[in-house]
Amino acid sequence: MTASRQAGAQRFSLPDLVELAEVASATLDGLRTKMLEPHPRKRPPVYTGAQLAALCGIEPKQVTYLARRGDLPPGRHESNGKRREFSLAEARTWVQRLARIPPRPPGARAATLSVVNFKGGSTKTTTAFNLAQGLTLRGRRVLLVDLDPQGSATTLTGMLPAAEVMEEHTIAPITYPPLSQAPKDIRYAVQSTYWDGLDLIPAAPHLFNAEIFLPIHSRDPDIAWWNILNQAIEPLRDEYDVIIFDTAPALSYLAVNAVIASDGLLMPIPPDNLDYASSVAFWNLLSETLGALKNSRGFEKDFAFMRVLLSRVDTTSISAAVVKDWIIRTYGPYVLTVEIPKSQVSNVGAVQFGTVYDIARYDGAARTYSKIRDAYDKFVEMIDQSILSTVWKAN
């Protein structure tokens, strides 16, 4: 297919479609490689002594003293020898030793959380990924399960879902009929990522097959189709602090499985009228679905917590202020008191296949970066506190 071809010049055939898919995939691969130069894979940021001090809640001068004492990773000096830098793994070791963040209690198992929404573009994946990264910076060990066949969360780790993720690398095999021969333990799909403390179960277009098999299982009264993921994730609950499910923008069969496997639910909502209407539709359908499971199968589900996050908030928009008021009036006590602002920083990260936490040094105004980074830090802390005060307190 040539670039000179004009739209509408001739019919669009199957060979054209195949060629377009190949060109598009090659273009995406090239763009990703360009954005990640000089490395073909993503690399985590390094931290200055001041940044490490902020993570640990100590004074910057204490970093120099403790690094020299030898009890903690010493980091390394920059090429000019003026500043000491620390890798992500080193920074997490410092946080786990020094930060006054309560660890997962003895005997408590991983908290599970689904990030949900009906509408694409609602910052669902961005929220899930930033939450996962932020929790690792609080010393948590996190597993991110990508349940969206588009593989957006997988892409944020630097992988190309369509080219690099096979069906057997996803959760799809646990849904294969007959279930008696399907994997019962999902550990086969866990992969490490570029980000220390964050593991991934990736997604790819092959995951659509699960949306074929699960409806088949739902017709069998002897199969608890909604509980397949919950059972498969069970062995991992002792290996992680938090397991996050990034669902597709729909209440699909996989999304229902994620919801059932979750202790908590998180819905990011940008203050836009369509996003607000979509959120209302989601909760209506979820209540109908859970009600149907109770009436037809006798299965009941409740949650340790539910939170709503106002995301991509444009403080200069009059309409956003109006919709924000709708959201607060509708969801009341479930709405987190922190808001994620609309920011150029997020746009820069998205272009580079990254997030706010991937940015080690922002080229723009420091205040601009601090504003959104502080908001994400507060959001992560609130979710961590929700887990501590509900899921782990109950355990």
The model's pTM: 0.89
On whether both 90 and 116 belong to a single domain, the answer is no
On whether both 63 and 150 belong to a single domain, the answer is no
On whether both 296 and 338 belong to a single domain, the answer is yes
- H or E segment to which residue 270 belongs: none
What pLDDT, in 10s, does the model give residues 66-91?
Answer: 998 988 999 998 766 678 899 999 99
- CATH code (residue 256): 3.40.50.300
Please give the radius of gyration of the chain, using alpha carbons only, rounded to the nearest integer: 22
What pLDDT, in 10s, does the model give residues 346-359?
Answer: 665 554 568 999 98
Q: What is the mean pLDDT of residues 300-312?
A: 95
Q: How far is CA 244 from CA 28, 118, 146, 259, 343, in A?
A: 27, 17, 9, 11, 25
Contacts of 119 (CB under 8 A, 6+ apart): 249, 274, 275, 278, 279
Cα–Cα distance measured from residue 19 to residue 23, given in angstroms and rounded to the nearest whole number: 6
On whether both 121 and 203 belong to a single domain, the answer is yes
- CATH code (residue 76): 1.10.1660.10
On whether both 87 and 190 belong to a single domain, the answer is no
Residue 70 lies in a domain: yes
Residue ranges making up the domain that contains 276: 111-394
| Token code pair at residue 349 | 């990260």
107 φ/ψ sector (left φ>0, alpha ψ -120 to 50, else beta)? left
On whether both 94 and 126 belong to a single domain, the answer is no
On whether both 236 and 314 belong to a single domain, the answer is yes
| Token code pair at residue 163 | 């080219």
Residue 74 lies in a domain: yes
What pLDDT, in 10s, does the model give residues 232-269?
Answer: 999 999 999 999 999 999 899 999 999 999 999 999 99
Residue 39 lies in a domain: no
Q: Which has the higher per-residue pLDDT, 342 or 18?
A: 342
* Domain total of the chain: 2
Asked if 149 and 205 count as a contact pair (C-beta separation under 8 A), the reply is yes
3-class SS letters over 272-323: CHHHHHHHHHHHHHHHHHHHHHHHHHCCCCCCCEEEEEEEEECCCCHHHHHH
Residue 5 lies in a domain: no
On whether both 85 and 208 belong to a single domain, the answer is no
The pLDDT value recorded for residue 276 is 94
